Amino acid sequence: MVLRRIGPFSCAKVSAVLYLIIGLIVGAIFSLISLMVSSIGGDSEISGMMGMLFGVGSIIFFPIIYAIAGFIGGLIMAALYNLVAGMVGGIELDLEPSPQKPPQP
């Protein structure tokens, strides 16, 4: 079997969801670091508030940006794959059929 074509929008949707999950993880880590730095940073009320705002905002901001980038990247990569696969023949796959389970009575 040869993979000759990838649906660009289906690839883009899957990429967006995967990158959203990565963005949540990165945003959570960035938020924790930001909150720790702001609590250590000093006694200034402004620096503490900015650290909290920036830290909590990263949990919202990072997943959105990552999902948009993942969607665009997945769309471009699938379109490029389709173009290249048309020229060189695609990726060869060696698939094995899954065993059929008997129906439950």
Q: What is the pLDDT of residues 54-77, one digit of tens each?
A: 777 888 899 999 999 999 999 999
Sign of CA dihedral 50, 55, 60, 62: positive
Q: Place 93 in a pLDDT band, splitting at 50, 70 and 90.
A: confident
Q: Place 95 in a pLDDT band, splitting at 50, 70 and 90.
A: confident
Beta-carbon neighbour count of residue 48 at 10 Å?
15
Residue 36: is its pLDDT beyond 70? yes
Sign of CA dihedral 28, 29, 34, 36: positive
**More confident position, 41 or 69:** 69
Average pLDDT of 83-91?
A: 91
Q: Judge contact between 2 and 84, C-beta under 8 A.
A: no
pTM equals 0.76
